[in-house]
Each structure stands twice: as C-alpha cells, then as structure tokens.
C-alpha cells in the first residue's frame, strides 16, 4: 500500500510594524513603521502670484493636502520632510503670456538648488506658458525644500493660479 506524505505548514507570527525595530538597539533604531510610512504633500496656488522682474520668488501654496508628517509653511512656502529618505520633487508653474525674455524655475533644498529649468526665449508669445521642474534628492529628517521662480521680462509677471495651473508636490519614494 502506498504511503501518503504529510505536509507540514509552518506557523508564521504576524509582524508588528508599530513596535518592531530593524536594529538591536531600540533607542537608536528607526522604526519599521517609519520606514514604510508614505510621506506626501501637494500644494496648489488658488490665486495668481506676482513675480517682479529679476527677483527670485518662492511659490506659496495656498491649498494644502499632506500625509505622513510632512509640514508646509504657508508664509514662506517651505516644505519640511519628517523622515530621511529619497524624495521626488515635482512642480509646474503657468506663467502669464509675455513675448519677452526667459522664465526660470527650480527646487532648492536647504537653500541649494536641486533642479533647474529655463524656458526658451520668446516661448510665451501669445498664450500662457507652463514649465515643469522635477528632481530626486536624498533628504534627512528636517530638511526644508522650496520651489523658486524668476523671470526677466522687465516688468512684473503673474504665475497663474487656480485649477492646478501652478502647484508643487513632494513625495518620499524610498527610505
């Protein structure tokens, strides 16, 4: 008579992500829930923002959605990341139509540029013009990032707000 094998099913204890630590020293360890926690912030201009010629201006988000402990200063436009990791910085701005000169946009972290984009001369002749600036940067907890623009038309020029025409986002993409 043939023998039927018995299959053993191992017991696997559930993983406690709230109280589990990857290091042996709990005081200096990074909690696993922090490693896995999503961090995201999205900031939108609901109104136009004026940018004087040859002046660096931080874009100020007026509508904020955020999760994971990211914070936003509504006066300075700075975003503070709560956890170390690799972050994706994304922004797009819509400039009012103007046929003169250049537009610039960049992300900066702790005052140093992370990304930079420059429009072609005369690219904004008859209609509003949108620029996109993206970049990835390694951050530590407490790093501050801001999205900055500049133009040199010789006069003030508006960033167009409303309907997500000018917005910026920060997302942690890896621990």
Within 16-143, strands assigned E span 40-44, 49-51, 57-58, 63-67, 71-72, 79-80, 85-95, 103-109, 112-113, 117-118, 129-139
In a domain, 10, yes or no: no
In a domain, 15, yes or no: no
In a domain, 167, yes or no: yes
In a domain, 159, yes or no: yes
For residue 167, what is the domain's CATH number? 2.60.120.40
| pTM for the predicted model, two decimal places | 0.79
- Domain tally, the chain: 1
Domain range for residue 161? 45-174
Per-residue pLDDT of the chain (175 residues; tens, 9 = 90+): 565 555 545 544 454 444 544 555 454 445 666 777 889 999 998 899 999 999 999 999 877 889 999 999 999 999 999 999 999 999 999 998 887 888 899 999 999 999 999 887 666 567 788 889 999 999 999 999 999 999 988 899 999 988 668 999 999 999 8
In a domain, 124, yes or no: yes
In a domain, 17, yes or no: no
């Amino acid at each position: 008579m043939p023998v039927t094998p018995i299959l053993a099913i191992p017991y696997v204890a559930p993983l406690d992500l709230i109280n589990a630590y990857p290091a042996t020293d709990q005081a200096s360890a990074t909690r696993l829930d922090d490693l896995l926690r999503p961090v995201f912030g999205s900031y939108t201009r609901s109104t136009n923002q004026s940018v004087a010629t040859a002046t660096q201006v931080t874009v100020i988000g007026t509508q904020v959605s955020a999760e994971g402990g990211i914070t936003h200063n509504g006066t300075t436009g700075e975003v503070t990341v709560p956890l170390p990791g690799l972050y994706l910085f994304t922004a797009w701005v819509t400039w009012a139509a103007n046929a003169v000169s250049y537009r610039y946009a960049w992300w900066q972290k702790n005052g140093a540029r992370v990304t930079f984009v420059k429009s072609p001369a005369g690219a904004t002749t008859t209609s509003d013009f949108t620029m996109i600036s993206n970049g990835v940067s390694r951050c530590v907890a407490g790093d501050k990032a801001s999205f900055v623009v500049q133009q040199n038309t010789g006069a003030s020029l508006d960033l167009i707000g409303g309907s997500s025409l000018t917005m910026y986002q920060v997302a942690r993409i890896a621990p």
